[in-house]
Amino acid sequence: MNGEVRDLREVIREEMLMRDKIAGILKDGPRTVPEIAQALGHPSWEVMYWVMGMRKYGYVSETGDVTEEGYHRYRVVAREGN
Amino acid sequence: MNYDVLVVGSGIGGMESSLKLGDMGYKVLLVEKEPSVGGKMILLSKVFPTLDCASCISTPKMAATWHHPNVDVMIYSEVEKIKRNREGGFKVRVRRKPTFVKQALCTGCRQCETACNVAVPDQYNFGLVARRAAHIAFPQAVPKKAVIERKGSSPCLFACPAGVKAHGYVALARAGKFDEAFNLVLEDTPLVGSLGRACFALCEAECARGVLEGPVSIRRIKRFIADRYYRLHPEPDHKAPEDLNGKKVAIVGSGPAGLTAAFHLARKGYKVKIFEAAAKPGGMLRLGIPAYRIPRDVVDRDIKNVTALGVEIETGVRVENIQDLKNQGFEAVFIAAGCQGAAKLGVPGEDLAGVFYGVDFLRKMNLGEAVSLGQRVAVIGGGNVAMDTARSALRLGAREVRVYCLEKEGELFASPGEVEAARREGVKIHHARGVRLIKGEHGSVTGLVTVAVKSVFDENGRFNPVYIDGTEEETAADSVIVSIGQRAVLNFTGGLEELTGANGRLAVDPDTLATPVPGVFAGGDVVTGPSLIVKAGGQGRRAAFFIDRYLRGEALEGAGFDYRLPVVDKEEVMARQQSYKTLVPVEKKEILKERPDDFTEVEIPLTEEEARYSAGRCLDCGVCSQCLQCVAACPAKAVDMEMKEETVEAEVSSVIVSTGFRLFPADAKPQYGYGKFRNVITGMEMDRLLAPTRPYNTILRPGDGKVPESVAFILCTGSRDQTVNNRLCSRICCMYSLKHNQLIMGALPLADVTVYYIDIRAFSKGYEEFYRQAKGMGANFVKGRVAKVEEKENGNLILHYEDIDNGGKLSRAEHDLVVLSVGLLPNTEYMNLFDGEELEPDEFFYVKEADEDLNPGKTGIDGVFVAGTASGAKDIPDSILHAGAAAAQAAAHVERMRRGQ
C-alpha cells in the first residue's frame, strides 16, 4: 500500500525532523494520518510513527471523532510545561 | 557480598522465586538486565482466562520484590559469570550498566524524556511507537527511574579536540532547537562563528554517514546555528558571573587558545586579562585567516562571547617577561602566543626586497597595512597558509599567482577544498617543484629558479627533500611569498629558560599544560607548533580546567579532564539498520570567480531547510546525542553523564535461572508478510494495542491509523511448524488469541474477528469455558492453515487458506488487520552464564530439568535450578507454580549446605 519499505529505525529517527512540518499542517485544522501523509508526501505508515510519537510526547492528540472511513483526526495541543 | 540465592531474571518466575525465598528468610540477589523488574507479563493487556488486568496483578509483585527486605535487586545489570567456589557455592560477577541517572535522586517525572531529542524504537512497545534515548521503560516500571541509552561516544563528538558536542548540536538542529544548539556549542567554545567557517571538521572525517553518501555537514550546520543566533543576538545574552572568586589570571595572546581559556576561566569566576601584542584581538582568527574565510564581524562577535564575561583584552602590548605578570598580582599565567615567526627558505636571494613570509604578509594585510606585491606573485609552500596567501594575493590585485610546492598532486598538506578553490580562482599550482634561488636586480625580486623534486622525505621519514639536477626552470616574479611554516617566537620568557623546550617551543606537561614554572601554563601553537583552530581552542579549554584546579589547590595529575565514553563502533552503528534511504548531502556552494577583487565571504551558508535536512542525515551513532537537554530539564539534578559501569562480585549458595523465553520472530515466516505489510502484527503487538498503556490510545492499524473492522488471527505462527524447526506447541497462543478476540470485540463492537487455527488447545482450568465465551461473543473460527498473505493497495490483506471444515478447499478472505499468534522460543542466554560447568540444554534448547516430573526445577548442576519458561513454554499460572518449586529446591539446597551435606 505504501511503496518503499524503509527501515523502521530510520523512519522513527525522522520524527524530530518531521514534527514541525506536521504541526504546521495541523495548524489549518485536525487531519487524519492519511491526510497528513498526503500533505507531506510520505507513506501513511511512516506518518503513523511520527504522529504517534508526537502523541506520546504531548504535541498532538486525537479530537475524539472518527471519520466515516474509520480514521481518527489529530490536532495540535499545548504541551505541558512548554 | 554474600547471598543465599542468586536469581537471574525478574519476570514473573524470577519475582515469584525471589519473593518466596525472601519470605522464608533467605537472602536473595535478583539481577535484571532491563531497567525495571516485571519481564514480559507487565507488558500484557490482560491475562487469560480470567481477563484480569496484567498490570494490576504484576505491579504488586514488582513492588513487593523491589521493597522486600531480603531481596536485593540489581536492575540494568547483567550476570557475566558464575563459577563454583571452594565452599561448594558460587562466585558471581555482575556488570552494572550505567543508567546515567542517579537513581536515588530521580523522581520519575519524565522531564528528561520529554526534553530528549533522539527518537528510537520503543522495545517495550515492540517497535509500534518511538521512545527517547532518555526514557523510563514503561509507565508501571519498578523502579520508576529514568535511564539514558548511551552506546558510546559518537565518532564526531569523540574526534573533536575542542570537546564540542557535535552530535548534540546536530540533534538539536534537526529538531529545530537552534538556540539550544548554539548554547550547547558555547558550553565548550566561544568561537562558534569562526569554527562554523574555518574548522577543518575532524568530526566529519569520522562521521559514520561517510560510508554511505558522505558525512553529515556538521561544520556548515554549526555555521547556520551561529549565523542565525548572531543575527538575532548582536550582543551576547550571558554576563559575567556575579560571584567572582577574587583571583586574577593573565593570558598572553588572544588567539583561539587564549580566548577559549579566558572564556572558561571567566565563567568559573576568575578575573581574566588578555595581553595581545597586535593592534586588534583574535590572533590567527583575525590576522592569519583572510576575511573571505572568516569575516571580521564574525570574529568580533565571537570575541564578544568572551568579553561579555568581563574578560579584559589589552591590545598593542607585548609581554616581555612572565615574571612581571606575577608581580602584577596574576596568580596564574596562560601563554598562548601562537607561532608568529616564519620559517625561512634558506636559499640565495631570500633577503631581496619583495620577499615576504606568509604569516607576516597575512598579518599586515589583515591589519590593513599596505603590501605591494606587483603583478606576478610566486608563493612557496603547500599548506593552508600558502593557499590563503595565494588567494589573498589575487584579491590584492596580482594578475598571476603561482604556487610552488614540494609535494605531488593530491599530497598537499592544504585541505583539498582549499586547493580546489584556489585553482578555481586562478591560482596555478606547480607540484613537486623546489626553489633553488630567488633572483633579483637592484635589490628587488625579479624571479625565481625552481627545480624538480625527486623525494621529500628520507628513508627514516624525515623531511629531507632531494632535487633532480638539470631540471631547473626560471620564472619571472615581482614578489615571492614564502609560506613553508611557522615557528614560535619566545621573546617573553626572560629569565625563565626552563620554559623553552628542545623544539624551540614551550615545554609543558601534555596532560595538564603546566610548564615547569609553578603557576605558568601554556598551550596552542606555541606548544604544539602550527595546528588547527579547533586544536588550539581545545588546548585553551584544557588549560582553563587545570589552571582552575591549580588555583584551588587541587592536584593536577589524574584529574580526569574531558571524560568521554569509548567511541562507538561504526560497524555496529551501520548494522542497526537493514537498509538506508539515500540522503545526498547538500552540496557545498561557494562564490568562486576567477581573479576575485574583494574579500567577500565565499561560502554560501545553508538555509534553515538545508540545515535541518542535513542534521536529519545523522545516524545517532551513540544513541544519546549529549545535547544535554535532559541535564537542563531535570529538576532533581539527577542526570550524571559521567556515570561509569561497575562490576559487582558476590558469593551465593544457590542459583535460580529465570531468564524466560524469546518470541518467535514473525518475519521468519515471510509468506505472512510481517515487516513488509504494516497491517500484519504479532500477538504481542496486539497485546500492546489493547493494554492500558497502549501506544495509540486505541486499537488502530499501524499502516495508516484506521480503526480495524475485520481482524484475523493466524494461530501457530512459528510453533508446531517443522519448516521453522520448531515442532513444539507454544501452549499459550490459542489462549492469548482468545483473550484478544474478546477484548477486541469489547473495544470495537462492530469489528469482525476470525481465528484461523489447526486445533484449539484449551487444556487448563477454565480454558474450555474461555474458548466457548469467545465463540459466544461472535468470534468466527476457521479450521485451516493460512498459506500466504497478500496486501492490497488500501492496506487490506488477503489470506489464502485451506478451509478444512468445508472440504479442504482453498479459499481467500479479506481482513484489514492480521495478527500472527507467534509461539515461544528458548532464550539461550543462560548458556553463557557458567564458567567451568555446563548448564545442559534439552533437545529444544530450553534449560534441561534432570527430572521434570519428580524433581521440577533441578538442573544438571548441583545447586542450580530453573524457574518458569526458561525450562519450556508455560502459561503464567504454570510459570508461577514452577518458580515456587524452584524456590523450594533452592531453599532445600541452601539448608543442605548449611548442614554441611
User: Domain locations in chain A?
Assistant: 8-76
Residues of B in contact with A10 (CB under 8 A): 577, 579-581
The average pLDDT across B551-569 equals 94
Query: DSSP labels for B52-67?
Result: EEHHHHHHHHHHHHHH
**B785-830 residue pLDDT tens:** 999 999 999 999 999 999 999 999 999 999 999 999 999 999 999 8
Residues of B in contact with A2 (CB under 8 A): 678, 703, 795
- Beta strands at B46-47 and B52-53: parallel, antiparallel or unpaired: antiparallel
Q: What is the topology classification, in CATH, of domain A8-76?
A: Arc Repressor Mutant, subunit A (1.10.10)
Residue B11: DSSP 8-state:
S
Range 1-20 of A in CB contact (< 8 A) with B: 1-2, 4-10, 12-17, 19-20
Range 42-71 of A in CB contact (< 8 A) with B: 44-45, 48-49, 51-53, 55-58, 62, 66, 69-71
Does A34 contact B at CB distance below 8 Å? yes
**B619-637 residue pLDDT tens:** 999 999 999 999 999 999 9
Does A23 contact B at CB distance below 8 Å? no
Exposure string over B791-816, b if 16+ CB within 10 A, otherwise e: beeebbbebebbbeeeeeeeeebebb
**B262-321 residue pLDDT tens:** 999 999 999 999 999 999 999 999 999 999 999 999 999 999 999 999 999 999 999 988
Task: List CB contacts of B86: < 8 A, sequence separation 6 or more.
Answer: none
Question: Which residues make beta-bridge pairs with B656?
Answer: B7, B865
The three cell numbers locating residue B445: 625580486
Does A81 contact B at CB distance below 8 Å? yes
More confident residue, B382 or B498: B382
Say what the pLDDT of residue B500 is.
85
Say what the pLDDT of residue A82 is.
40
Q: Give the residue from B169, B132, B208, B162 showing the smallest Cα distance to B571.
A: B208
Query: Closest partner residue to B117 among A16, A53, A71, by Cβ?
Result: A16
Query: DSSP labels for A27-52?
Result: TTS-B-HHHHHHHHTS-HHHHHHHHH
* B174 — pLDDT class (breaks 50, 70, 90): very high
What type of residue sits at position B133? Answer: A
Give the distance from residue B208's alpha carbon to the nearest chain A alpha carbon, in angstroms. 14
Nearest residue in chain A measured CA to CA from B794: A1
pLDDT at A3 over 70: no
Residues of A in contact with B695 (CB under 8 A): 52, 56
Say what the pLDDT of residue B215 is.
98
Q: How far is CA A61 from CA B692, B701, B703, B749, B823, in A?
A: 17, 17, 18, 23, 35
Say what the pLDDT of residue B495 is.
66
Say what the pLDDT of residue B630 is.
98
Query: Which has the minimum average pLDDT: B11-20, B567-576, B721-730?
Result: B721-730
Say what the pLDDT of residue A58 is.
94
- Cα separation, B827 vs B829, in Å, equals 6
The average pLDDT across B93-120 equals 97
Query: Closest partner residue to A16 among B174, B581, B794, by Cβ?
Result: B174
- Cα separation, B6 vs B56, in Å, equals 27
Q: Cis check for the bond before B516: say yes or no (omega within 30 of 0).
A: no
Q: Give the residue from B240, B244, B247, B264 showing the smallest Cα distance to B329.
A: B247
Residue B305: DSSP 8-state:
H
**B11-29 residue pLDDT tens:** 999 999 999 999 999 999 9
- Cα separation, B224 vs B236, in Å, equals 17
Question: Which residues make beta-bridge pairs with B799?
Answer: B789, B813
User: Which of A18, A52, A73, A77 is most worth mutating to test chain B (most B CB atoms within 10 A of its CB)?
Assistant: A52
Q: Are B251 and B281 in contact (CB under 8 A)?
A: no
pLDDT at A1 over 50: no
| Cα A23–Cα A27–Cα A33 angle in degrees, nearest 5 | 60
Query: Closest partner residue to B579 among A7, A48, A71, by Cβ?
Result: A7
**B734-780 residue pLDDT tens:** 999 999 999 999 999 999 999 999 999 999 999 999 999 999 999 99
The three cell numbers locating residue B515: 610548564
The reply to whether residue A52 touches residue B171, judged by beta carbons under 8 angstroms, is no
Q: Are A17 and B174 in contact (CB under 8 A)?
A: yes
Query: DSSP labels for B123-159?
Result: GGGTTSSEEESEE-SSTT-SS---EE-B-SB-HHHHH
Say what the pLDDT of residue B465 is.
92
Q: Are B74 and B31 in contact (CB under 8 A)?
A: yes
The reply to whether residue B704 touches residue A71, judged by beta carbons under 8 angstroms, is yes
The reply to whether residue A2 touches residue B703, judged by beta carbons under 8 angstroms, is yes
User: Would you give the distance in Å from CA B365 to the centre of its chain?
Assistant: 42
Say what the pLDDT of residue B503 is.
80
The reply to whether residue B707 touches residue A66, judged by beta carbons under 8 angstroms, is yes
Interface pTM (ipTM) of the complex?
0.95
Does A24 contact B at CB distance below 8 Å? no
Q: Are B305 and B222 in contact (CB under 8 A)?
A: no
Torsion of CA B552, B558, B563, B564, to 10 degrees: 170
| Cα B746–Cα B748–Cα B753 angle in degrees, nearest 5 | 85
Query: Closest partner residue to B578 among A7, A12, A71, by Cβ?
Result: A7
Model pTM?
0.94
* B493 — pLDDT class (breaks 50, 70, 90): confident
**A32-69 residue pLDDT tens:** 999 999 999 999 999 999 999 999 999 999 999 999 99
- As a residue count, chain A comes to 82
* A81 — pLDDT class (breaks 50, 70, 90): very low
pLDDT at A2 over 50: no
Residues of B in contact with A13 (CB under 8 A): 118-120, 616, 618-620
The reply to whether residue A72 touches residue B130, judged by beta carbons under 8 angstroms, is no
Residues of A in contact with B682 (CB under 8 A): none
Say what the pLDDT of residue B853 is.
86
